[in-house]
Amino acid sequence: MINKIDVGKRISFYIKTYAIWSEIEKLRPRMMLDITCGTGQGIKHQIKRINWPITIVMVDISHRI
């Protein structure tokens, strides 16, 4: 059975993500800072949306450093 709260949270997440990326696409920044704790999995999915020249600075703040 699907939990209605989980579905609502997912929908809210996608709406927020769409709104954020709509603004980023309007601004088309020349540089983006990706601060994460991992192996670049987040930016891997977002890079598909970027279709303009950009420099991405990746910073890993994980405990493995």
Dihedral sign for Cα atoms in the order 27, 31, 33, 38: positive
Q: Does 65 map to a domain?
A: no
Q: Does 45 map to a domain?
A: yes
Q: Does 21 map to a domain?
A: yes
Domain that holds residue 45: 4-60
The pLDDT assigned to 64 comes to: 61
> How far apart are the C-alpha atoms of 58 and 36, rounded to whole Å?
8
Q: Does 44 map to a domain?
A: yes
Q: Concatenate the DSSP letters of all residues of 34-54 into one string.
A: EEESSSSHHHHHHGGG--S--
Q: Does 22 map to a domain?
A: yes
pLDDT along the chain (65 residues), means of 10: 71 86 93 79 81 89 66
The pLDDT assigned to 2 comes to: 62
Domains in the chain: how many in total?
A: 1
Q: H/E element holding 58?
A: strand 55-60
